[in-house]
Structure 1
Amino acid sequence: MVTILQLETATQVCSAALSVNGETIALKELAAQNIHAGSLTLFIQAVMEKAGLSFADLDAIAVSKGPGSYTGLRIGVSTAKGLCFALDKPLIGVDTLKMMTKGYLLTDENYTGLVCPMIDARRMEVFTGLYDSRLAEVLAVEAKIIDETSYQEQLSDQLITFIGDGAMKCSETILSPNARFSDLNFNSATHMSQLAFEAFKTNDFEDVAYFEPYYLKDFVITQAKKKV
C-alpha cells in the first residue's frame, strides 16, 4: 500500500490531498488570494486527521512543480521539501499542466479530443501546453500570448477543450466551432493521485536538495508608481 501526501499551490487554489495506491482518500482545498502561506500546513494537518494517519505512514510527498504562480510554487515546494527532509521520504514532482489535463480527462473517460490547460499569466498571456487524451504532449509547454490565430491549425480538424483559470478570458479571442471552454477547477491535489502513484512505482523521484519549481518565466518585481 502506497500512501502519498499531495500538494497543489500553483494558482490561487491551495490544495492538499492524500492518496492510497492512486486513489484519493482525503482532500482539503480552497480558492482564494494569498492564502497559501497561512493555510497549506493547516490543510495538510486536516487531511492527515481525516484519514486517521500519521506522517510516519507516508511513503512519499508529491508537489505540483509548475508552471504557475511564483509565490505559490515557492510555498508548495518549500513545504514539500521540508517534509521530505524531516520525514526522510522521497519527493515526487508533478507537472502542473499535465495534472490539470488528467483532472479534465477523469471527468470524461470517452473524450477523444485535445486538452489545453491554461494558467493565467496576466493580460492575454497564459502558461499552457496541449495534450491528447492519453496525456501525450502535442504542443510543448510555453508562456503564450493569445490572439485570434492561436490554435487555429489544430482547431481546423480537432476538438480542443480549454481549461484552467486562464481559459475563460480567451473564449472571446479563440473562435472556432471546435473550441470549448470549461470554468471548472482542475488545479486540485486530487488530480495528482494517479500520476504520483505511477511515478512512485517507477522510482521517478526528485533530488530533494536541488529540486526547484518550474517557473517558466523569470520573476519580475514591479515598482510602485506612488512614492510614499
Structure 2
Amino acid sequence: MRLTSIIIPNYNGIKYLKPCVESILIHTSSPYEIIVVDNGSDDGSIEYCEQQKLKLISLPTNCGFPAACNYGLKMAVGDSLLLLNNDTLLTRNWLDNMLRCLYSSADIGIVGPVTNYATGKQKIKEPFTSLNEMAARYNDPDASKWHQVDRIVGLCFLFKRELMDRVGLMDERFSPGYVEDDDYCYRARLEGFRLMVAGDAFIYHKGGGSFRKKGRKAVRQLLHRNYAQFIAKWGVHPRTFI
C-alpha cells in the first residue's frame, strides 16, 4: 500500500500541534508517517514530538514556512506527500478520500479538502457546526463531489512524489510564507498536472494565527511583497486563480 508522508511545519504552536496530531492518529487508516519540522520553538513542541516518537526536524531558528516544508519533503519517504498546517483537525475518511481522488487519474497532481476557513473554492458555504456533523455531511466517499480548480490552498496540500520530482521543492523566495502554495500550483499546472478539490474530505482549519502573531498590517505588507514577487516571476497576479 502507498505511504503518505504528512509534513507539519510548526513554530511555538504546541496548543495547535497536539490536537492536530491526535486527530491524525484517530482518523487516519491509510499508511502514513508524521514529520514535524520545528522552526525553533521554545513552548514544549519539541518535547511533545519526542514523547510521541514522531519524526522531527528541529531547526535552531524560524526559517519560515516554505523552508520548513522543504526540510520535511527532503526527509519524507512516502509515495504521496502532504503539507499540513498545525492548526487543522482531521476527520474520518479524510486521507482515504483525498488519496482516492489523487490517484483516480495519472494527470492529477495536487488535491485539497474542503474546509471552514480558506480563501477560494475550498471554503464551504454553510457555517461550521461541529467536527462530527461536518464529517457526517461531507466525508462519505463520493467522487461526484470532486472538482477541478486552478489553485489549492496550502493548509492541506496532498501531491504525488512524481509531481515533486518534476516541479521541485517550494520556492523559498516567498519566505516566511504566503503565496508559495499559489506558486507551486502554477508550476504543477505548467507541467500538465490537474488540481482537484476532494469535496468528500472536510477538515477543520482554525486559521487566522498569522494575523494574531504578526498583526494585520505586517501580513498585508508580506502579502503585497509576495504578490509582487509572483508577478515578477510569472507575469500574472496570483489572485487571478482564486
The structure carrying a bigger helix percent of its residues is: 2
The question of a shared fold, defined as TM-score above 0.5 by the shorter chain, is answered with no
TM-score normalised by length of structure 1: 0.32
Larger radius of gyration: 1
